[in-house]
Amino acid sequence: MPQKDQKTEVELGSQARLLTRSIDRGSLATVMQDNQGPYASLVMTATSYDGSPLLLISELAEHTQNILKDQRCGLLIDGTVGLDTPLTGSRITLTGTLQKSENPDALHRYIRRHTDAEVYAGFADFALYQMAVDRVHMVAGFGEIHWIDGRYFSFNADAATALAEAEADIVSHMNDDHGDAVALYATSLLDRQSGDWRLTGVDPEGCDLRAGGTVARINFDRIVSDAEQARTELVKLVKKARKSAKT
């Protein structure tokens, strides 16, 4: 049994998943098709409802050519950007396989997070890939190093079908009718600089924001599974943000 001051593997998996949700890029490691050597490249990421990384990549790219021959990969998610001492920050390496996805909802989630991707999402050589995570290596600072089984990283989103169906409408409604609230999320709750903050996604665990090249995330106080539950959490965040702005 773990000691009281130790996190369980479920808690560690959740911590790793939420870090993955909060960052929009990573370093993808694949196996070179010609000599089996390692190859690392920059990729832009989003996540599915279960937390699995999503990548929209071209078949012409070196990493995709590698994946077409060998689906095994590693993905580094770096949460240390901006820290004076980066090695004190959190970063994780996900290992598993990349497989092509035909899920339109997942593609729409990716495009909402990376609006520039809409330009090339329809190109014949581009396709969405979803990562099946087998293991996670997490370094959460000096001495906090853990291996986590992939089943503890994955979130069971089976009950969130209604939320997935409503997500696009929720995002549009918040941006079109409550843009001031979205801005308050970023500036009052997350202490981010003022900007053209937009909601880019809502999932069972929280919501994602973007202003230009900067992304941010707010996790909900509870898991949500439909539009009404999400609305309740978003309203709570607005009230909290307005109260914070007054103090």
Same domain for 19 and 137?
yes
Q: Indicate whether 21 belongs to any domain.
A: yes
Residue pair 12/152 in contact by the 8 Å Cβ criterion: yes
pLDDT (tens digit per residue) in 143-180: 889 999 999 999 999 999 999 999 999 999 999 999 99
Q: Confidence band (pLDDT; 50, 70, 90) for 57?
A: very high
Provide the domain limits for residue 117.
9-155
Same domain for 230 and 132?
no
Residue pair 47/24 in contact by the 8 Å Cβ criterion: no
Q: Please report where in the chains the tokens 């899920």 appear, as a residue.
A: 103
Q: What CATH code is carried by the domain that includes residue 209? A: 3.20.180.10
pLDDT (tens digit per residue) in 61-82: 999 999 999 999 999 999 998 8
Looking from the CA of 179 toward its CB, the CA atoms found within 13 Å total 8
Same domain for 150 and 172?
no
Q: How many domains would you assign to the chain?
A: 2
Same domain for 123 and 40?
yes
Domain boundary among 135, 155, 175: 155
pLDDT (tens digit per residue) in 75-128: 999 999 888 999 899 999 999 999 999 999 999 999 999 999 999 998 999 999
Q: Which two tokens stand for residue 165?
A: 């169906």
